[in-house]
Each structure stands twice: as structure tokens, then as C-alpha cells.
Amino acid sequence: MLLRHAVRPLFDEHGEILPLGNWDVAVPLLNGWMGVDLFFVLSGFLISHHLLQHWPGEFQIGYLSRYWLKRVLRTFPAYYAIVAVVAFGLLPFYRPAVEDFGTQLWVHMLYMQDYFGSVWVPAFWSLGVEEKFYLLCPIILLWLGRYPRARQLWILAALACLPVVLRALTLASQAGMAIEFEHFFWLVRSPFHLALDGLWLGVICALIYRWRPPPIAGNPVVRHRLLIFGMALVAALLLSIAWFDHHHFGASVVVLSLVSAGFASIVLAVVLGPTFISSGLRARWLRFIAVISYSVYLTHLIMVWPAMQTAQMLVPQWSALSPLLKLTIFLPVFLAFSLVAGLILHFTVEKPFLLLKDRVRMSPSRSAHVP
């Protein structure tokens, strides 16, 4: 996702970075939006996995209140801090013009940018999807608890397929109209009810991980086939075409679900047992990235413009450079700005509230039951 936002300003300016026949090296970077779908699959898995540890017996109002409180402490403080920075123009080089300040403020305060769009930080649409899922997931799990296992999976599979149908119908309603990327994005890509397929696939992974059926969990051949299938599918979609930017909107309706399915296959293979990539996933630098990833996500997009200004100041003949050379210079500057900004946000805002979050007990203490 960071790579997509790094290459977009240069792609908008030049159209191509380094064409090789009918293919451009910018294609996998422009398809960096797939990182959001990985995020959705992982989020669906992790949230439902933690909920399933207390499901269904502890799904009472006290438990759900503590669950939602932990979600608030995890996501709200750092998010609102960045919203305040942008809303009040506290960051040089990033002061987007807003015609209706009050509307934008309430849209962001209520996490409704997935439906109403965002002028301030467009990347925050995915948080609108996430926050609604946090509310919905325990309710769906409570409902699923009434059914046998096989039916639970069929219901979740149907929920995962539903966004594909709804995206197709939404796009079909625009037949005959000229559609640009921004229109497609806010109409088809971002709304909560059209972006749930990856999240439900993550929930399916969590249920299979909880049940650990022997044909999958106990069979390394099956796990490796799942992993190879998922990696091959994601790689093929990542490298083939810049789906959004080359206006393949009709195909993107299905591609979005295929990307999520590929990532879900990878996640399921990895969590069910050791694979040939398991040791690499334990690398310390990946754990470090995981710790600060939320803060970097919140800050990286507003770093594009300061980083671009810095890169142009470092290179006097910037306008005469080739697109590839511009990207080579700009990318490390942008990544450094994003990392520093993310670290500042993590240590000043996010981490103190994470420490507070860890003090919230998901299960009542035994002493609470002593008369």
C-alpha cells in the first residue's frame, strides 16, 4: 500500500515508469492496494480468533463491552490524533482544501468515510470498514452459534460471496456512464457492505483453525498446496495488470475477491502448521513492522507531499529526470518520512493506549464471583 501511494504521483504525471513492451514495472506497485485486502483477511482472522476463545458461553453484555472497549483503545486515539493534525492544518505541505469542514469532521469522527468519501486522508476509508466490522463480528458469531459447523461455513461463504454480487450490481447501475477511478473507488471499492469478502474469509480461516479438521491441519501436503495456490494467485493478479489505474473496473469486481481468496489461502496454510515460509515470518524486523504498522498506515499518505517536496529540493534538476530515476530517489525519502512519522505517532499516542488496553480483562476475575 505504501508503494502504491509512492508511485501514484509519478504515474499521474508520466503515465508510465519503465515500459517493457506492453507491461510497466509500475504495475506491481500500482497494485499495492492489495495490501488492504491482506489487512482485511488478517483482521477478520485475528478478531474472530480472539472472540472464538470466549464463544459462545461468554458472549454476554459485560464481555462484549470489554471487547468493544479494547477495540476503541486500540484504534481510536492514534486515528483521532491524525485527523486533528490534518483538520487543523498542522502539517506543512499537507493542507487539503475542504469546502464543508463540518461535514468532513463528522464523517471522520463517525468513521463514515467509506460511504461519504474523504478529502482529508482518502486511505482512511478502510478504517471505516474495519470499525463497522468490529461491531458486526460478535453479533454474527452469536448468530452462527445456533448452527452446526458445516452450516456455519456455508453461511460465511455466502456472506463472502455477497459483496461480489453487490459490486457487480452497483457497477451495472452505472452502465452507459463514463467512470473514472475516483468515481469507481468511492462507489464500488470503499463502501462497507461491498468490502466484506476478505473479512468473512478471515473469519472462515479462524473457524477452521479452531476446529483443525485432520485432513487439513494434520497434512503438510495440503498446507503447502494451500500456500502455493494462494501465493501463485496473488502473484498472478499483482503482476498482470494495473487493475484500477488502467480502468479494468468490471474485472476488478471479481479480482477483489480473488485477491482476498489468495491471501486467505496463505493465512490458513501458515496458521495450521509449519510451512516453508514459517521461519521467515518470525524475523524480528517483521515483528517490528507489525508493531508500528498501524501508526505508519495512519501517517504514510500525509507524508507523500512533504517527501516529494524534500526530494525535489535535494535534486535541483528534478523535472528533467526520468520517471524511474524520480521514483528511485523519491521512494527511500518517502519510506523514511513514513517510518519516522509512524514511530512518533506510535510512541506518543498509540503505545500509551495499548498499555491501557492490555489492562482490560476480557474475562471477569474469579474474585468477582465470590459472595
Give Rg (Cα) of the chain.
Answer: 22
Cβ proximity of 93 and 313 under 8 Å? no
Supply the pLDDT for residue 186: 95
Supply the pLDDT for residue 177: 81
> Using one digit for the tens of pLDDT, what is the confidence trace for 316-362?
889 889 999 999 999 999 999 999 999 999 999 999 999 999 888 76
Supply the pLDDT for residue 145: 86
Supply the pLDDT for residue 364: 52
Supply the pLDDT for residue 234: 98
Distance CA 346, CA 216 (A): 38
Supply the pLDDT for residue 371: 30
Supply the pLDDT for residue 363: 60
Cβ proximity of 107 and 119 under 8 Å? no
Give me the tens of pLDDT residue by residue for the chain, a chain 371 residues long: 888 999 988 988 888 888 888 899 999 999 999 999 999 999 999 999 999 887 777 777 778 888 999 999 999 999 999 999 998 888 877 777 777 888 889 999 999 999 998 888 999 999 999 999 999 999 999 899 889 989 999 999 999 999 999 999 999 998 878 789 999 999 999 999 999 999 999 999 999 999 888 777 778 888 999 999 999 999 999 999 999 998 899 999 999 999 999 999 999 999 998 888 888 888 889 999 999 999 999 999 999 989 998 999 989 889 889 999 999 999 999 999 999 999 999 999 999 999 999 888 766 544 333 33
Single-letter amino acid, residue 104 = Q
How far is C-alpha 85 from the geometric centre of its chain's CA atoms? 22
Supply the pLDDT for residue 362: 66
- Largest Cα span, the chain: 79
All three cell numbers of 126, joined, read 478502510
User: Which residues, including other chains, have CB under 8 Å from residue 74's CB and lie 6 or more apart?
Assistant: 353, 354, 357
All three cell numbers of 348, joined, read 506518543
Angle at 168 between CA 252 and CA 144, to 5 degrees: 100
Supply the pLDDT for residue 195: 97
Cβ proximity of 133 and 199 under 8 Å? yes
Distance CA 150, CA 180 (A): 42
Count Cβ atoms below 10 Å from residue 45 Cβ, excluding itself.
Answer: 26
Supply the pLDDT for residue 365: 44
